[in-house]
Each structure stands twice: as structure tokens, then as C-alpha cells.
Amino acid sequence: MEVHDFIARYGGIYEHSPWVAERVAALAADDHDPERLAVLMADCVDNASTEQQLALIRAHPDLAGRAQLASELTAESTSEQASAGLDRCSPEEFERFQTLNTAYREKFGFPFVMAVRGSDRAAILDAFAARLQHDRELEFETALVEIHKIARLRLDAMGASE
């Protein structure tokens, strides 16, 4: 596969961060194994600068946030949030998400990131509240772990659709 085609295909695996696919393209342009791609891409992110990692975390939308309401999420994020029922929040749940999103961003300087596929609103809200008790370093690392989970799920979904 040409590098350009690889980037076009895999550039969205990491939310609004095609640089991950760009860096991995030369290593994996002819390898479409989701496991190998997941490892290469995760390694790329793990070895990126702290500034690049922070930009990657900040590229993620708030859960049940204003971007969802304005239909501004990527197709992948829309599907992932819908799978967890975040598009069907009660007014009370929606308000709780907004309150937690604001508190989390104020405390850590980046959005709460969680691989929500397979979860439900209650579990997500519980995780949200628990993770607000962490320090910034732990949350930064946790966000990257969750982002890698999201990427792996996206790669697996692409493999299943071929």
C-alpha cells in the first residue's frame, strides 16, 4: 500500500491525530494486521513528546458534550458514544456529564478520555467521578492507556469490515 493510502486509511485511528499513521506508514504500509498496527501505533504515541501526547489527549471530545449535541464528533466517536448510550442521556445524566467534564478539564487541563464501547452511562459516570480523585500524572497516563484501547477497537472494527 502506498504511504498516502496508508495514511488515508489509518489516519483517523487516533482522534484528529494523523501524525501517528504518518510515522508508522513506512514501517507498516504493507502490513494490515490489527495487532501489529496497534503495537506500532501505540509505540509511536508512547515515544512522542509530552507536548504531542497532550495534544493527542486534547483532540478527544468530551463525553456527552457539546460537540455531540452539535453533531461535530467524528463518525468513530459518534458510534462509540452511542454504543454506550451517551446519545440517550436523561437531562439529569447530561447535566452530571457537563459538571464532571468541566471539573475534570479545570483540574487536569485536558478532557476525560475513556474507551466507552461496552460500557453504560452509569459505569462511565462512576469512572469519571473516581478518576477525578487522581493526580495529573496518573490521569495523563490513564488517558493514554484509554486512547490506546480506543485505537485498538477502531483497528479491530476496520479489520472486521474488510
DSSP, residue by residue, 125-137: HHHHHHHTTS-HH
> How many Cα atoms are found within 13 Å in the side-chain-facing hemisphere of 127?
16
Residue 75, burial from CB neighbour count under 10 angstroms (0-12, 13-18, 19+): exposed
Residues 155 and 85: beta-carbon distance below 8 Å: no
Residues 63 and 113: beta-carbon distance below 8 Å: no
Of the residues 4, 16, 32, 60, only one is catalytic, namely 60
Residues 126 and 93: beta-carbon distance below 8 Å: no
Helix (H, G, I), strand (E, B) or coil at 102: helix
Q: Indicate if 4 belongs to the active site.
A: no
* Catalytic residue annotation: 60
